[in-house]
Each structure stands twice: as structure tokens, then as C-alpha cells.
Chain A
Amino acid sequence: MNEREALFRRLAAACGSHGAAAGEPPPGEAPPATEGDRVARFAEAFSAAGGFLLRGPVEAILSDLGEMLRAEGVTALFFPEDDAAAREFAMALVPFGPFTLTTGTEVRGGGAAVTAGFRTAEAAIAETGTIVETSAGGKTLLPGMIADVHVSILSAASVVARMEEALAAFGADPPRNISFLSGPSKTGDIEQTLTVGAHGPKKAIALLLPPERTE
């Protein structure tokens, strides 16, 4: 008898269920309040998690973003090859600072430049102020993982109220990696003092596109 069979024999004896079908899920708890505007609630929760939301006309977003990236000392921008919106924003931003374009591969190779990684968010969750990114369709997760500043491009239509809706969208077969990103990377490990930028981005910025720019 191998180890796995032995384990299941022990479990069956302990549970006394002998392979009986498990119980039904208990009734759901009352959902977190969902009144009010989803986007407004996302904005509030995202900033509570330490993120910065930029909205308004694209020109205004670009100039604000340029200023924020310069303040962080960013010199290089990168985006997924197959992400048109991220490419467009990164390219449009080049005149706003001493920024050059690089690639995720380059950054992963361990370049020393301070980087901003751009990526279109698959969804956002109002309840928790969360940006949702996944590997579905072979998409890269590097911009939100190894960049110094993470810039998410977000459309109002992709904001869902609660975590349940975000997860239900994947059905029974989730992509290999589903990432919930809520604000910058944080640690309190030294003297319990909250410090940003432990391993992931030191700043998390979301650009909320005006409705006319979303498909």
C-alpha cells in the first residue's frame, strides 16, 4: 500500500464518511454593501490600500503620471508586447520625462534602471480596491511583479462589485495564475513600521480610462 492510499484509509476512518458526498455549501453571508457607484467605491478602497488612481481626460492623466514617475526616479518603461493600450500609454509618456522604452525580458535580466511596468487590468474589484491580472491567453505578469512602479490601465466597465464576481468569471477552469493586486508591495517586518516596496512595486497607479476610450 503506498503512502497516499494509507493516508486516505486513515482519513476515511477518522471522518467516518466513507466517501459519502460532502455537504452542500452553507448559505452565503450577507454580501458587503454594494450600494453606490462601483467605480467610486473602487477608487476609495484602492487608495485605502495605498494605490493612486488617475482619471479624467487622457492629456491630464499623461501629465500627472509623468510627474509621478519622475518623482519616483523612473527612467525606463515597459509593457507586454501584445497589450495595445499599455503600449499606447507608455509610448505617449516618453516626451513627459527622461524615459526610454525597454522590455520585460530586459528587466527580468536584472537591469539596474528604475522601471515602470504598464499593463491592462483584466478586472478590478470595488469591495477591496483590487486590480485583477491573470496569465490567461499567455499574458505576462511581469509589469505588476518586478517593476518599481506598476501602472494598470483600467476601464470602468471592468470594475466588479465583489470578489465573487471576479472569480466566477473564470468558471471551472481558472487560468494558471490569477493575481489580486491591492496597492503597492508592503512590509512591516522591521519594527512593525509599514514600508512600501518590499519585493514588488513601490507604487501602484491605476489609470481609469474615460468611457469613450473603452471598447
Chain B
Amino acid sequence: MELTANAFGRNARKALLDKTLQEALGRTTGRFLAHRDAAAAAFPEFEATRERASRIKRDVLDHLDTYLARFIEEAEKRGTIVHVARDAGQAREIAARIARDEGVTLAVKSKSMAAEEVSLNEALEGAGVTVVESDLGEFIIQLAGEAPSHIIAPAVHKTREQVSRLFERHLGEPRTDSIPELVGMARRHLRAKFLSAGMGVSGGNFLVADTGSVVLVTNEGNGRMGTALPRVHLAVVGIEKVIPRMADLPTFLRLLPRSASGQTISSYVSIVTGTRRAGDPEGPERMHILLLDCGRSAILEGKYREILKCIRCAACLNTCPVYQSVGGHAYGWVYSGPIGAVLTPLLVGLPEAAALPDASTLCGACADVCPVKIPLPDFLLELRSDARDQGLKTPGEIAAMKGYAGVMKRAGLLEAIERIGGVLGQFFTKGKGIGGLPYPFSGWTERRDFPAPAAQPFRKLWKIRRGVTR
């Protein structure tokens, strides 16, 4: 998909002015987060499970060559055809070739961020395939011609009225404001596609090395149907999704649904291993797995290795104050929220996305909820310093940061500045905070109001509290 990560500021402004989006974001992120917190609290072993998952993933990344080789060997033993793509262009070529060789004209696709990453649909359409998104949210935004705005709720920014309009225009359905009726319309329309598609395209939540299996976690059941009914199955998966053993799967299944939506488990978990066997009434005759490098091996080599532990649960999005305010589209690529702010620069190159690591308050909430304990705030900070080292920061910004650091190290100086700020602040304060500072501070106040400085410096308040007065 098109990359506009460096336009974060402009994208964010647009999002903040979008009333519908703002309402949807408030409703969704809050709900997901509350459910997630309740699920974690109701599961006493949550912390131990996080620790174990983190260690398993770290082991995988330390020995990815070993585990991936084992996965490929076991998958091929069971009839799976494994392809490897170095970059997005190559992934598209391979997918197009598979579609042509298999003679596919209609494909049903379940949700896959990896497929979004390489613009897979475009490649398949170029090979003469009609690709129908089968996840309800993806189906809705496909009709609207938009990109997903949330890892697990792609159409979070659409109202039922907008959905009904889309179904009227594209499916010839009557207008309704009943959500169950809308779901029923999509079900009928997509059921016909499932039953006639030649190929099912999916992502993969986990690849099991010791059995060569692909694991799909869904609530709707589309992933299940797309990988069992069509003649061909194509799974597009990043190389980092490997887990060592089938016996490790429960650990991750205890974390993913809880972190994503607060469910103990999703409605469906499908573990598919190889092709249809003799006497099987369903299952694909041909199974292809397209493994994506697309920048992952380069990440593996450096200090950001642990970002590859991510299991794409979206808990960090839901808990992030920045994501809550601007939504997914503002991040200008496939991955949004804190994971996107780190992963996008690493996958597409820091110069192409240097604005993203700045799109964070470093509050640390993402690290608190991450089920595999990725140190996201540390990475955000590290990327900012990389950006400076690579000459991606303006001299003004560097000078300002140096000055800030100098002040913060000297308590007396800080207090003096706080006093001056307390006086000057009154001139710029309007309503809740400071709205329009002159350059060079305008960067802070352009897109948000800055809280007004307190009339009394903190140290002075502290002394008064403790009964020490000058």
C-alpha cells in the first residue's frame, strides 16, 4: 500500500477533524482495552504466560535459521509448496505466478497484514483474479476502496449507515439500520464466493516448526472456510511467525485473544498441516506458503530484533493515547500505533518514516500491555536517536533538545525558567491550555493544546508542602 508515514502531522490533523472517526475511536479503543484488562485480571497466570511467550519468541529469533529450516522441511514433507520472497515485488511476482499456474479466477481472502504489506491483492488482480475480502471489516473497506485502520478491526471508522449505503450500492441490498441484517447480507453474499472460489488466501498467526502447520485465529469463521473449501490455499506469512513446537501453541493462544479483544479464546482456531489427504472430503489439493523476508532479516541483525516477537494483537494500539486520538490511517502505512511507529521505519527505512517515532508521548502504556514484552518505548526513543545520527533532524530541533537536557540537569535553572514560564504562560493561555506559541515552539502547539505552566514551580510547592518556607 502507498506509504505516507512522513505526513503523520497532516494525516493526524485530518483525523482529529473527522467527527465520525473520533466517535468510533473513542468507542472501540476503550472497549477493547477494558475487555483486555478484565481478561488479564481474570487470568492469574497471565504474567507467567507473558514471560514464557517472550522467552519462546526470543529463542526463535536467536535461532530463526534453525527453526525456519525445520518448519520448511516439515511443511514440504506434508505436501506444502514453500516459497520465499526477499521483498514485496518478489512476493507479488510469486503470488501472481501461483494464481496463473493454478488457473484461479476467484479468490476469497481472509485478513492478513502481511498481504497488505506487499500489496498482494494488486498482484493477484493483475494476474486476472478477482479477490474478495471475506473478513467482514475488510470486505466493507474493500467496497469503500479504503485501507484498514486497525489491525483487528479494519472498518472501525465506518458507521452502520455508511455500511448500509455501501451494501446498497455494491450488492443491491435494501437500506437498513439493523446490524444483524447487515451481517446477514454479507454472509449470504460471501457464502456464494466461498463455495465457488478456486483459491483461499490467508495470513498466518503462527507457523509450527515441528509439524509444518499454519495456525489461523479468527472469530468469524472465514479463515476456516477459505482454507478448507477452495482447491488451492495460499498463506502469506512473515518469517518471524514461527514457533518451535505444537506444544508451545497453547501459551500463545492464551495471550492473543485476551490481549486483542478480551476473549479467553477466539471462536475458531484452525491448525492446517499440508494438503488434503487420501479420503479427506475437504481441504485444498494444493497448499502454498509464501514466506516474507521484506526487511525482517535486516531487523534480526540489529538492536531491534525483539520487535519481531510481535504477535499482532493490537493491544498496544488500543492503549496508546496517540492512537486513540488519531486512529490508524494517520500512521500512513499497514501497521499503526506503537508497533507501527517502530516497525514501519524498520521495514521501509527510517528516512521514509522518521515522523513515526516522534508520534508518541513515551508514556509506556504499550510496554505494559504487550503480551510478548516488547520494549516499545525504548525502541521509540532509540529510533529518535538514530534519526538524529542519520541527519534526519533539523538543527533547530537538535539545539532545542540539547538546551532542554541542559536545563533538566540543573535544578536551579529549571526553577528559574518555571517561574518565568508561569508569568509568561498567562499571555498565551486560552481556555484549557496554551494554543499558539510562536516559532520555534509552534511545533508543539500546532496540533494540540499545551497545558498551561503552573504559577508556582514544583520545587516551591514541595517545600511548602513539607513546611519549609523561604
Q: Does B64 contact A (CB under 8 A)?
A: yes
- Among candidates A20, A49, A135, A187, residue contacting B183 with C-beta atoms closer than 8 Å: A187
Contacts of B56-73 to chain A: CB distance below 8 A:
56, 59-69, 72
Query: Given A7-B297, A138-B281, A200–B267 Cβ distance below 8 Å?
Result: yes
- Bound Cα distance from A22 to B273, whole angstroms: 23
Interface size (A, Cβ < 8 Å)?
80
Interface-side segment among B221-229, B410-418, B441-449: B221-229
Are B245 and A25 within 8 A (Cβ)? yes
- Among candidates A173, A189, A198, residue contacting B153 with C-beta atoms closer than 8 Å: A189
Tell me how many residue pairs across A and B have CB atoms closer than 8 Å.
264
- Bound Cα distance from A19 to B278, whole angstroms: 35
Are B62 and A26 within 8 A (Cβ)? no
Least CB distance from B283 to A in Å reads 5
Q: Which A residues lie within 8 Å of B49 (CB)? A: 29
Can you list 23 residue pairs at the A/B interface with Cβ under 8 Å? A3-B85, A7-B84, A7-B86, A7-B293, A10-B293, A15-B62, A25-B56, A26-B59, A29-B51, A129-B264, A140-B282, A141-B282, A142-B282, A167-B250, A176-B280, A177-B283, A178-B270, A178-B273, A187-B183, A187-B219, A190-B140, A193-B179, A198-B220
Are A145 and B63 within 8 A (Cβ)? no
Q: Does B8 contact A (CB under 8 A)?
A: no
Query: Given A8-B65, A187-B219, A200-B220, A48–B264 Cβ distance below 8 Å?
Result: yes
Q: Does A71 contact B (CB under 8 A)?
A: no
Are B282 and A198 within 8 A (Cβ)? no
- Among candidates B84, B221, B250, residue contacting A198 with C-beta atoms closer than 8 Å: B221
Q: Which A residues lie within 8 Å of B270 (CB)? A: 177-180
- Among candidates A21, A23, A176, residue contacting B283 with C-beta atoms closer than 8 Å: A176
Q: Which B residues lie within 8 Å of A192 (CB)? A: 24, 27-28, 31, 153, 156
Using a CB–CB cutoff of 8 Å, the interface residues on chain A facing chain B are 3-4, 6-8, 10-15, 17, 19-23, 25-33, 45, 48-50, 104, 108-110, 128-130, 135, 137-142, 145-146, 162-164, 167-168, 170, 172-193, 195, 197-201
Q: Which A residues lie within 8 Å of B60 (CB)? A: 22
- Bound Cα distance from A28 to B55, whole angstroms: 11
Interface size (B, Cβ < 8 Å)?
105
Least CB distance from B98 to A in Å reads 15
- Bound Cα distance from A31 to B182, whole angstroms: 41
- Bound Cα distance from A10 to B49, whole angstroms: 31
Are B225 and A29 within 8 A (Cβ)? no
The DSSP consensus for interface residues of chain A is loop
- Among candidates A8, A21, A129, A200, residue contacting B224 with C-beta atoms closer than 8 Å: A200
Q: Which A residues lie within 8 Å of B52 (CB)? A: 26-29
Are B90 and A200 within 8 A (Cβ)? no
Are A23 and B59 within 8 A (Cβ)? yes
Q: Does B251 contact A (CB under 8 A)?
A: yes
Least CB distance from A10 to B in Å reads 4
Q: Which A residues lie within 8 Å of B228 (CB)? A: 141, 145, 177
Query: Given A22-B63, A108-B195, A198-B220, A167–B249 Cβ distance below 8 Å?
Result: yes
Are A186 and B224 within 8 A (Cβ)? no
- Bound Cα distance from A128 to B210, whole angstroms: 24
Are B211 and A174 within 8 A (Cβ)? yes
Are A22 and B59 within 8 A (Cβ)? yes
Q: Which B residues lie within 8 Å of A21 (CB)? A: 63, 66
